[in-house]
Amino acid sequence: MAEKFEDKKINEALDLLNELAKEKKAELQGMVSEKYSHLKSALGGASERLQDQERETFAQGEEKVREFAFTIDEKVHKNPWPYLGGTALGFLILGLLLGGRKK
């Protein structure tokens, strides 16, 4: 009879602990979701700023590449011979390096 009484008390204690754990779990989930929403909103703003900076940097880089290409195009059209000679010399050297010696 004493065993049944002890088992009943242990089961009641376990039920009480489970109930408290469920309450604390819900409470913890609420706290985490609240903190997470604050974090999410803070990071969301940072993410938007980073995306704006990324777009701006990309646009600036694209503009610089276009300016560089336009400058090179103008120089080549004004005096093409040094560029043609340099290109031919570069390919000659590349051919010699890749061809190697054959005996």
In the prediction, which pLDDT does 20 show?
Answer: 78
pTM of the model: 0.43
DSSP code, position 100 = -
Could you read off the pLDDT of 7-45 as tens digits, one per residue?
Answer: 777 778 788 778 878 777 777 777 777 777 777 777 777
In the prediction, which pLDDT does 17 show?
Answer: 79
Task: Report the share of the chain in percent with pLDDT over 90.
Answer: 40
In the prediction, which pLDDT does 74 show?
Answer: 93
DSSP assignment of 74-92 equals HHHHH--HHHHHHHHHHHH
pLDDT beyond 70 at 103: no
DSSP assignment of 32-70 equals HHHHHHHHHHHHHHHHHHHHHHHHHHHHHHHHHHHHHHH
To the nearest 10°, report the CA torsion of 62, 68, 70, 73. Answer: -140
